Amino acid sequence: MKRVHIYCDESGHLERDEVGVMVLGALWHDGDKTREIAERLRELKTKHGLARDFEVKWVKVSEGRRDLYLSVLDYFFDDDDLHFRAVVIPDRDGVKDKGEGHDDWYYRMYLDLLKVIVEPKAENYIYVDIKDTRGAEKVRQLHEALRESHFDFNRSIIGRIQQVRSHEVEQVQLADLLIGAVSYANRGLSTNSAKAAFVARMRKRSGHVLTKSTLFKEKKVNVFVLQPGN
């Protein structure tokens, strides 16, 4: 059976986070491309004078490493096997159902993120960046919610949901960068010139402004901006 590998991360996800804008994102590709993609990303690091295990992250984007981060972004767009989806929540309180707790709402948002990615005729492997000590329980509940939503009663569609450490997984690092750019755009920021350049390049190459929803079937850069009433 075909395998799809999905790497998830998030920004502004904490219940009392004052950032305001929350972004859930996922990078995905077919399972047979895993090593090839990771190796290509490591090669880009060494090309720019960094160790292969250097962790690229949105918080590290700076003028001194602008060329590295833009080359990583260009690689994403040049590789037809890589895809990205983001769910943007500008107003968390405004989109919660009445009486809905934060955790229940969080899992519902993850289902919104993954519902157009998970392939029903494939075995989907999902990797989530470790965030806190409740990670294992969150993963377990997300796994059950996904199986129920996809009628995966024989446990063949959702093959695995696994916590990983971002510094060990190149694809999670790439997901972090793309999520960071979408969040930066939706927060209306521009004070970091390297980050602003990254967002501008992502807009140009995707053909999307990143602050409005794309078509539902968009495969390369798929953005869904969740508004009250959606």
- CB neighbourhood size of 107 (10 A): 16
Of 124 and 148, more confident? 124
Length of the chain: 230
Report yes or no on 156 lying in a domain: yes
The encoded tokens of residue 131 equal 């965030």
Longest dimension (CA), the chain: 52
Provide the pLDDT confidence category of residue 15 given band limits of 50, 70 and 90.
very low
Report yes or no on 49 lying in a domain: yes
pLDDT (tens digit per residue) in 141-192: 888 888 787 767 677 788 888 899 999 999 999 999 999 999 999 999 999 9
Average of per-residue pLDDT values in the chain: 89
Residue 52, pLDDT > 90, answer: yes
Where residue 184 sits, what CATH number does that domain have? 3.30.420.10
Report yes or no on 145 lying in a domain: yes
- In the chain, the DSSP E strands lie at 3-11, 22-30, 83-89, 123-129, 158-164, 221-225
Report yes or no on 180 lying in a domain: yes
List, in sequence order, every residue forming a beta bridge with 30; answer none if it has no partner: 4
Report yes or no on 196 lying in a domain: yes
The reported pTM is: 0.91
**161-177 b/e (C-beta count within 10 Å ≥ 16 → b):** beeeebeebbbbbbbbb
Domain that holds residue 45: 3-225
Give yes or no for a contact between 152 and 115, defined as CB atoms under 8 angstroms apart.
no
Closest to 126 (Cα-Cα) out of 170, 171, 158? 158
Number of domains into which the chain is organized: 1
Helix (H, G, I), strand (E, B) or coil at 137: helix
- How far, in Å, CA of 8 to CA of 106, rounded? 13
